[in-house]
Amino acid sequence: MARICVIDDNELMRDSVCETLLAADYDAAGYEDATVALDDILGGGFDLVVTDLKMPRLDGVGLLSRLRESGCETAVILMTAFGTVQTAVEAMKLGAFDYLQKPFQGDELEIVVERALKHAHLLRANQAFRTGQADQARSRPMVAVGESMQAVLRQVERVAPNSATVLVTGESGTGKEMVARAIHAASPRAAAPMLAVNCAALSPALLESELFGHERGAFTGADRSRQGRFELADGGTLLLDEVGELDDRLQAKLLRVLQEREFERVGSSIARRVDVRVIATTNRPLGRWVQEGKFREDLFYRLSVLPIHIPPLRERREDVQPLAEHLLARIARREGRARLTLTPEARDLLLGYDWPGNVRELENLMERCSALADDDTIDAARVAGWLRRNAPAAEPTQSVSHAQALLGLGRNDFDAYDGALMAEMERRLIFAALKENGGHRARTAEALGIGLRTLGLKLKRYREQGLLEPVGGRDLVGAVSQ
């Protein structure tokens, strides 16, 4: 229940306002003297202040000034007689939320109070969101040791002060959204909101409403008007993730916003102007798509005023070990546990891997290894169990663990292991699992956490390379049961 401070030297007026608020399920406390109420307000005891403008000792404007000078952001509503409306308007310039002209009806008071409380709630929620974003940025800094990522960070520093559109390109999992958020955090818009929309996650109709908003009755189910992300991000930044997924009609509407800084809600013909910086990301070859007619050329050039490309992890291997150690440290802080360390053999495995899923895959691997580690180290056996899989990884089953044991993959058995031997290690693991499962492919694929077709293709390749091993005297490719 919201607590409201009511200040008026007129007892009848003060009691009337308090009774109206109490009847509307608010907790109202009346004060005759603003100087007495000031200390209680500064103490954080109220969500809203409703005060008369003209009072002895300390009037409404003086109270408002003292609150703001003390850093108190509690919303203030002024009550004023006809002859002092201009003064009330001036007070709103000092930070008052609204004013009520006496005499007023109870429902008028309730409407203004409800609006003020909602506004205060939004401000608190927005502040909490910004604080959370700042904390997240501090806890998830970009790790950039190699020259290629150092160059990306230098680009971030150069483009951040501008308001021009940025296009961040790179494979999935390289960290495009982190770069976008770093640009916003270093820009003059950092105090304003940064909103994000995944253009690949919604149908064109829903995405249009999400971006531009809609009017009541614009389509079935639109029972009220709704602001879109462009309106909500006014003064801040809008991240369009996977912008290459926009259809032709939405490409045209986005182009207009970028060119004219205005748009219409769905179901409306009223143009609305906004000041929003757009940062777009994509893992698609938009340049080639422009040549093939799959993406508007004019929109491509509007989006890529300031282009930034993030190289894949396999092209910046010098970042792999620092990234892995950073991720392990972050996981340890989050879980309240001792920090895990990688053995030299485990580090060699990480450096020799191509990381098709980039940083996201590395993060996923470190999460798994941390959750399944038996002690304070992550060895090569633990890492090897999750690399070079062609299907979504699953937790190792008993069969996999036993197969690893059959291979003799102990903690100190990887001294001679390097990236060139990874394919051979995979082959040995597959045949150990096949032997354990009596040559049954389906059970073997399930035990290894890969697809049956993937296993079949690998076995076919081994036969072509002359690398098959018999299981019970049978040719695995042709005779192993399905």
Is there a domain that residue 261 lies in?
A: yes
For the chain, the domain total comes to 2
CB atoms under 10 Å from CB of 63, counted, come to 26
Cα–Cα nearest to 389, from 435, 358, 423: 423
In this predicted model, which residue has the larger pLDDT, 93 or 350?
Answer: 350
Locate 177 and state its tokens.
Answer: 């959204």
Instruction: Convert the pLDDT of each residue in 443-480 to its tens digit.
Output: 888 777 777 777 888 888 778 777 776 665 444 444 34
Is there a domain that residue 256 lies in?
A: yes
Q: Read off the pLDDT band of 312 (50, 70, 90).
A: very high
pLDDT at 257 over 90: yes
Is there a domain that residue 241 lies in?
A: yes
Give yes or no: residues 98 and 189 share one domain.
no
* Residue 430 contacts residue 476 (beta carbons within 8 Å): no
Q: Among residues 310, 339, 357, which one ends one of the domains?
A: 310
Contacting residues for 292 by C-beta, under 8 A, at least 6 apart: none
Give yes or no: residues 190 and 290 share one domain.
yes
Q: Read off the pLDDT band of 126 (50, 70, 90).
A: low
Q: Read off the pLDDT band of 198 (50, 70, 90).
A: very high
Give yes or no: residues 184 and 256 share one domain.
yes
Q: What is the pLDDT of residue 51?
A: 94
* Residue 156 contacts residue 182 (beta carbons within 8 Å): yes
Report the alpha-carbon distance of residue 22 to residue 99 in Å, rounded: 20
- We report the CATH number of the domain holding residue 102 as 3.40.50.2300
Q: What is the pLDDT of residue 193?
A: 87
Mean of all residue pLDDT scores within the chain? 82
Is there a domain that residue 343 lies in?
A: no
Q: What is the pLDDT of residue 82?
A: 63
Q: Among residues 271, 291, 310, which one ends one of the domains?
A: 310
Q: Which of 189-193, 250-254, 435-439, 444-448 has the highest mean pLDDT?
A: 250-254
Query: Which residue range is the domain that position 191 belongs to?
Result: 159-310
Is there a domain that residue 61 lies in?
A: yes
Q: Among residues 310, 326, 359, which one ends one of the domains?
A: 310
CB atoms under 10 Å from CB of 81, counted, come to 14
Give yes or no: residues 75 and 185 share one domain.
no
Q: What is the pLDDT of residue 76?
A: 93
Cα–Cα nearest to 94, from 69, 49, 59, 64: 64
Is there a domain that residue 179 lies in?
A: yes
Give yes or no: residues 79 and 191 share one domain.
no
Instruction: Convert the pLDDT of each residue in 338-394 to its tens digit.
Output: 888 999 998 988 988 989 999 999 999 999 888 887 788 888 888 887 775 533 333
- How far, rounded to the nearest angstrom, does the alpha carbon of residue 139 sit from its chain's CA centroid? 13
For residue 409, give the DSSP letter: -
Contacting residues for 258 by C-beta, under 8 A, at least 6 apart: 165, 278, 299, 302, 303
Q: What is the pLDDT of residue 439?
A: 81
> What mean pLDDT is predicted for residues 184-193?
90
Q: What is the pLDDT of residue 85?
A: 64
Question: If residue 159 lies in a helix (H) or strand (E), which one and from where to where?
Answer: helix 147-159
Burial 118-148 (b: 16+ CB within 10 A, else e): eebeeeeeeeeeeeebeeebeeeebbbebeb
Is there a domain that residue 283 lies in?
A: yes
Give yes or no: residues 82 and 184 share one domain.
no
Task: Identify any residues that bridge with 278 across adjacent strands, giving them in sequence order.
Answer: 238
Q: What is the pLDDT of residue 393?
A: 37
- We report the CATH number of the domain holding residue 265 as 3.40.50.300
64-66-69 Cα angle (round to 5): 110
What pTM was computed for the model? Answer: 0.55
Give yes or no: residues 243 and 109 share one domain.
no
CB atoms under 10 Å from CB of 462, counted, come to 17
Give yes or no: residues 106 and 239 share one domain.
no
Give yes or no: residues 163 and 229 share one domain.
yes
In this predicted model, which residue has the larger pLDDT, 410 or 190?
Answer: 190
* Residue 217 contacts residue 265 (beta carbons within 8 Å): no
Give yes or no: residues 300 and 222 share one domain.
yes
Is there a domain that residue 152 lies in?
A: no
Collapsed DSSP state (helix, strand, coil) of residue 85: helix
Give yes or no: residues 62 and 172 share one domain.
no
Give yes or no: residues 163 and 278 share one domain.
yes
Q: Read off the pLDDT band of 281 (50, 70, 90).
A: very high
